[in-house]
Structure 1
Amino acid sequence: MSWRDHRTRCICKKIMFSPEEWERVERLHRQLTESSVRYKQFGNYARKMLSEREIKVTVVRPLTDPTPIAKAIGRVGVNVNQIAHWANENERITPEQVAELRDGFARIERLLGELFDERDSHEAK
């Protein structure tokens, strides 16, 4: 009895790569498996690439992607700092209100840091 018996895919081909080619293949496979578990097994990936020459993957970022949020919060932070500076110069705001603004901004920074940490730990997997 042969290993080919009772297989739907009974044709076996062997292919050789240079170290540079193999590094590129591994990198492409790794990038694909980050966003699609369908091609986690290398055989599935190689078969699809060889037979159809491309694999289309749509990456959907979660709503908690910190990159666009970070830009917006940076602008908010500049505004908060300008308000605090103006208030300190004009003394039309109490020190408690300034402290409240600073505490709010510190909370935003902390939450944004947590989003980045969560994203980085997810990408490391």
Structure 2
Amino acid sequence: MTWKGNRSRPILKSVTFSEEEWRWIRDAMRVENRMRRSAGLRQVGWMAFARNRIRTAHAVNIIVPPDLRGLSAQVARIGNNINQIARQANMRDEATYGQIMEAQAQLRELRGLLATLRVGASRQVEPEGRPGWL
């Protein structure tokens, strides 16, 4: 009888890690097993942990705006303006209505700029649907 024999998972893959990568994986396993114990579930070993992580992995697409430097400069300018208003208010222990309105306008502009950034995430789905081993 060969190694594959009567196994339900006859394909064997091997992987190597650096010390730092293995520490990260070991810590992630500890965290997951701690959460499983607190939920009343049994702990998982390395093979089950790796299968689960590979099986549930997903791709993340990050769309970077073409003018990131310009956007960064605008955000820095707005941040400096808001900091100056806050510094004056802290030094005098008061802020004028105009300063508060200016800070709110700057924050609205900042929110608008940041809203232009878009981070998209997509999951790759098996064409046949959900595999039987899930």
TM-score by length of 1: 0.40
Structure having the larger proportion of residues in helix: 1
Flag the structure with more relative contact order, 1 or 2, with Cα contacts below 8 A and sequence separation at least 6: 2
Structure having the larger proportion of residues in strand: 2
